[in-house]
Amino acid sequence: MIRRGGRGDRTVSQRVPTVRDVAARAGVSVGTVSKALNNRGQLRDETRARVVAAARELGFRPNTLAQSLQSGRTYTVAVITTDRFGRFGNPLMLGVEDALGADRVSVFLCDTRDDPIREYHHAQTLDERRVDGIIVAGRRKQTRAPLAVASGVPVVYVIARSSDPSDFCVTTDDVGGGVLAGRHLLAAGRTRIGHITGPERFADPRERAAGLQQVLDEAGLSLAGGQVFYGEWSEDWGRRAAEMLLHAAPDTDAIFCGSDQLARGVVETLRDRRLRVPGDIAVVGFDNWEPMAAGCRPPLTTVDPNLREVGRVAATRLLDMIAGTPVEGGVETVPAWLMLRESTGVRLTEPPLGSN
Amino acid sequence: MIRRGGRGDRTVSQRVPTVRDVAARAGVSVGTVSKALNNRGQLRDETRARVVAAARELGFRPNTLAQSLQSGRTYTVAVITTDRFGRFGNPLMLGVEDALGADRVSVFLCDTRDDPIREYHHAQTLDERRVDGIIVAGRRKQTRAPLAVASGVPVVYVIARSSDPSDFCVTTDDVGGGVLAGRHLLAAGRTRIGHITGPERFADPRERAAGLQQVLDEAGLSLAGGQVFYGEWSEDWGRRAAEMLLHAAPDTDAIFCGSDQLARGVVETLRDRRLRVPGDIAVVGFDNWEPMAAGCRPPLTTVDPNLREVGRVAATRLLDMIAGTPVEGGVETVPAWLMLRESTGVRLTEPPLGSN
DNA sequence: TTGTAAGCGTTATCAT
DNA sequence: ATGATAACGCTTACAA
């Protein structure tokens, strides 16, 4: 694995020390070294100390491969994702690492780029690498075929669930997110609430809309504009849809948007029309995609789907499965929460953005 | 590595087949299996076929750990990054995978979260895992201490370079990016060009500014507003700085921004002032951060720092080093390029955004 | 308390 | 053309 001795090497040619080297230096046997370094068995303190000293002097690092070959565990999991681009994968990975880092588990990152062939390839490779478990993250709430792993490694699905009902999936609560947004707007005294969102063919925007609708129903209200404005996930659709909504319902006093990007577009249209946010119209976004939401003028109140927590839960369950704890198939939903900013009338002091 | 037989397991308890199982089923020895499966040595076609058949029937997947233990290569590299959050890491990783994927090399992703302790920990772990090589990606152009790996594994630094001059680093061409922006604006007939950017204490914005200055010098022009407007990396600074610039130099006809976020803020101020973009003032951003740049109205012409290529080059050089090819220490700079959109007067038809 | 040796799953070097 | 067998680096019975 390590290339040394090549003519181009700048580092001094050196063999990586093994237990044998440590044993020789400490004047003991390899078995003793192992015990000393792993605090196992009965050893004289002096011996243990001598071994530890020898190990550190040589800069000994145990070879994980050999350990794994022996133990049957690699302390390695993989995250297979179709989406590392968008803002999506990042908080998720953060959560995964939150849970995994504590356990000294390393993470293989595999990007399928939405290509089933690539996914299959990665699955094969991971099988061969004997990863302890796999997290399969989809971008949208849809049902997908189970990952093609032969070995029976534990797999946890994220957002996109497996068609096999005995598989386990962690996902976001989009209905709940919609409810959160609706309740918040109601609490802020808004009653003529419109909704602009992404493609109707996707479950996520439909669920968000359903959540809002549920709140409106409970309050005996109906949707401003008489319909959900489904469209694309672009700022431009946000701008256009806002025009349409205001045309259909000029007295609209709040707009819930299916994404922060849409909300940006909406806010732009509102400003062009000299409508004040939140004075005339309150706006709620979805995603809590920091640079988008915080950079907006005014900063956006938005539903945070809690992807970091989704990642954390997924990794935690995966560790459970790896440890042999029974994990029931089905879907675990992680609650969303609401990030309050100024676009709905709350006023907050926030730390300045520090990222490039 | 694989947990089976646990009471909670949903999959049928099954041992992962080894060469021995294949050998037994094919009625040959393990050595023969190895040769057959790896197309080595002299074997009768019939035998080879029989082994291959047995392997596929059993769903045999060679254990990479054992192979690595034997060969000394893990076909594994790690990317250590301080930044997986921003838009930054993503194109970079894409490039890395472009280069690595061809070689069936898997990638460990390690996020330090800017914590030296975490970095040290990761370095240790990677040493123990005997990764073939490591890419250390920093967020900013700065000099950092070499990664604390004892083993002499090849390391390539990205953007942030190592203080050891014999280490190799791949980075972006920020001066060149500034030149690109300046030339483009000049070519578009602008002569009163201002510059709004991030913190002066960072090298990146200073280099971008230097690139622009260089072009202006060559053209005998000077910076609109008489100074570079250094500030924070926020939309808000973009808005405020635009006010300042226009106050200092009302006849400004172009603004080069050190980031797309800044450019968004600038464009917003311009619209508030009823200045047309690009009619009255052309705007160039930096980053080509798709959702920001394309979502802007008008869409932003912007310098693409070519991070994907940076990632590709880094991975390629790393593979070279792993293969033993001498790689000189120093810095390799990857040229930036200009993404033309409407904010500088170009008119393009672009595919609609499809991402959430 | 310490040493010896078997075994984890491969590949490679010999014999045969 | 195929089969034993010794590595690879480690852990762990078991023997001393």
Tell which residue, B246, B253, B243, has the closest CA to residue B221.
B253
Which nucleotides in chain D have some atom under 7 angstroms from a protein Cβ?
1-5, 7-14
Q: Any CB–CB contact under 8 A between A268 and chain B? A: yes
Q: Which strand C bases fall within 7 angstroms of a protein CB?
A: 1-5, 7-14
Q: Could you tell me which residue, A15 or A296, shows the higher pLDDT? A: A296
Query: The whole model's pTM is what?
Result: 0.92
**Parallel, antiparallel or unpaired: strands A229-230 and A106-111:** unpaired
A35 CB-to-strand D distance under 7 Å: yes
**Residue-level pLDDT, tens digit, chain B, 356 residues:** 333 333 233 343 468 999 999 999 999 999 999 999 999 988 999 999 999 999 999 999 999 999 999 999 999 999 999 876 556 678 899 999 999 988 889 999 999 999 999 999 999 999 999 999 999 999 999 999 999 998 789 999 999 999 999 999 999 999 999 999 999 999 999 999 999 999 999 999 999 999 999 999 999 999 999 999 999 999 999 999 999 999 999 999 999 999 999 999 999 999 999 999 999 999 999 999 999 999 999 999 999 999 999 999 999 999 999 999 989 999 999 999 999 999 999 655 444 443 33
Judged by average pLDDT, the poorest of A81-90, A100-109, A267-276, B182-191 is: A81-90
Both tokens of A298, joined, read: 């005014």
Q: In this structure, how many other beta carbons lie within 10 angstroms of the beta carbon of residue B270? A: 22
Span A154-202, pLDDT tens digits: 999 999 999 999 999 999 999 999 999 999 999 999 999 999 999 999 9
Nucleotide with the nearest C1' to B29 CA: D3
Q: What are the distances in angstroms from CA B294 to CA A284, B188, B348?
A: 22, 20, 11
Residues of B in contact with A12 (CB under 8 A): 152
Q: Cα B216 vs. chain centroid, distance in angstroms? A: 30
Question: Residue A337: which H helix or E strand, with range?
Answer: strand A337-339
Report residue B327 as tokens.
């790689």
- B129 and A110 within 8 Å at the Cβ level: the answer is no
**Residue among A88, A131, A295 minimizing CB distance to B1:** A131
CB A295 within 8 A of CB A353: yes
Asked if the C-beta of B103 comes within 8 angstroms of chain A's C-beta atoms, the answer is no
Question: Is A10 in contact with B329 (CB distance < 8 Å)?
Answer: yes
Out of B65, B104, B108, whose CB is closest to A107?
B108
Which residues 18-47 of chain B have a CB within 8 Å of chain A? none
Residue B192: closest CA among B251, B245, B147: B251
In DSSP terms, A337 is beta-bridged to A304
Nearest CB to A65 within list B86, B125, B130: B130
Place of tokens 């293989």: A108
B219 CA: distance to closest CA in chain A (Å): 30
B36: left (phi over 0), alpha (psi -120 to 50) or beta: alpha
- Give tens-digit pLDDT for A17-38: 999 999 999 999 999 999 999 9
From the number of C-beta atoms within 10 Å of its C-beta (0-12, 13-18, 19+), residue A215 rates as buried
DSSP string, B192-203: -EEEEES-TTSH
Buried b (16+ CB within 10 A) or exposed e, A131-145: bbbbbbbbbbbeebe
Contact B15/A at CB under 8 A: no
Task: Please tell me the distance from the alpha carbon of residue B297 to that of residue A238, in angstroms, as a whole number.
Answer: 12
Cβ–Cβ gap A65/B61 under 8 Å = no
C-alpha distance from residue B120 to each of A104, B5, B106, B209, B315 (Å): 13, 37, 21, 35, 22
Token duo for residue A81: 């994702």
Euclidean distance between CA atoms B251 and B222, whole angstroms: 13
Residue A104 touches chain B, beta carbons under 8 Å: yes
Please answer yes or no on whether A234 and B352 come within 8 Å at the CB atom.
yes
All domains in chain B, ordered by first residue: 2-62 (1.10.260.40), 73-173+307-325 (3.40.50.2300), 174-304+338-344 (3.40.50.2300)
The Cα A135–Cα A158 span in angstroms is: 7
Query: Average pLDDT, stretch A254-279?
Result: 97
CA dist., res. B133 & res. B124, Å (int)? 13
